[in-house]
Amino acid sequence: MRPEVRPMTDEDKPAVIQMLRNIPEFEPTEIDVAEEVINSYLGDSIRSGYHIFVAEVGSSIAGYICYGPTPLTEGTWDIYWLAVAPDKQSQGIGKALLNFADGNIKERKGRLALIETSSKPEYETTRLFYRAQGYEIACRIANFYAPGDDKLVFQKRLR
Ligand SMILES: CC(C)(COP(=O)(O)OP(=O)(O)OC[C@H]1O[C@@H](n2cnc3c(N)ncnc32)[C@H](O)[C@@H]1OP(=O)(O)O)[C@@H](O)C(=O)NCCC(=O)NCCS
């Protein structure tokens, strides 16, 4: 089913946090950071600098994406979070959210979108997903997150 992509509201927060807890790739400390970012956005979306959208299927939250302009750059944007509920993955929801974000960033005169991820084996599907969406590896910082866990920065030129 095609998801509806719409701005996140206060009412969505419990479902989004629960969805993040259900995703095995995310550590509890990462979910704490995601929640801080969500609180900042829900408190004052304009001043927070974050844009958060949810994908709804039927009346339930199936995924969310969070992105924003990278401070002190001209037209560079970071995609900070993208997640789809485990039972809703591989149904085109991540693609719908990322396509939406790419389009929205472009409309806002963004020219470069960046996404960081880990080199750990459990993120292999995620890396294949980014490649399938037209993102390519711009750089790798070895042993960034932990010994043996590199940071990969994916990029997409939007204009
Ligand atoms: C990564 C993630 C966001 C992808 O979302 P998704 O809804 O499962 O992915 P989609 O169904 O939209 O996949 C879209 C495309 O990605 C590619 N893709 C997805 N999984 C793939 C796999 N295992 N192998 C190869 N290609 C794959 C396919 O080309 C697919 O396109 P197609 O259906 O037209 O063939 C989701 O799996 C997820 O939340 N994972 C856990 C959390 C995470 O890693 N988040 C990102 C890091 S912050």
Question: Which residue's CA is minimally distant from atom 25 of ligand 1?
Answer: 128
Does residue 33 line the site of ligand 1, with CB under 6 A? no
Does residue 93 line the site of ligand 1, with CB under 6 A? yes
Give φ, ψ of 128 to 5 degrees: -65, -40
pTM over 0.85: yes
Predicted confidence band of residue 81 (pLDDT cuts 50, 70, 90): very high
Residue 130 is predicted with a pLDDT of 98
Give φ, ψ of 138 to 5 degrees: -95, -35
Quick one: which H or E segment has residue 98? helix 93-107
Predicted confidence band of residue 22 (pLDDT cuts 50, 70, 90): very high
Residue 2 is predicted with a pLDDT of 86
Parallel/antiparallel/unpaired status of strands 76-84 and 112-118: parallel
Does residue 128 line the site of ligand 1, with CB under 6 A? yes
The CATH class of the 4-113 domain is alpha beta
> Whole-number mean pLDDT of the chain?
97
Does residue 110 line the site of ligand 1, with CB under 6 A? no
Does residue 82 line the site of ligand 1, with CB under 6 A? yes
When pLDDT is averaged across residues 98-103 and rounded to a whole number, the result is 98
Task: Please give the sequence-ordered ranges of beta strands (E in DSSP) within 89-148, or none if there are none.
Answer: 112-118, 136-146
Indicate which atom in ligand 1 lies nearest the CA of residue 126: 1
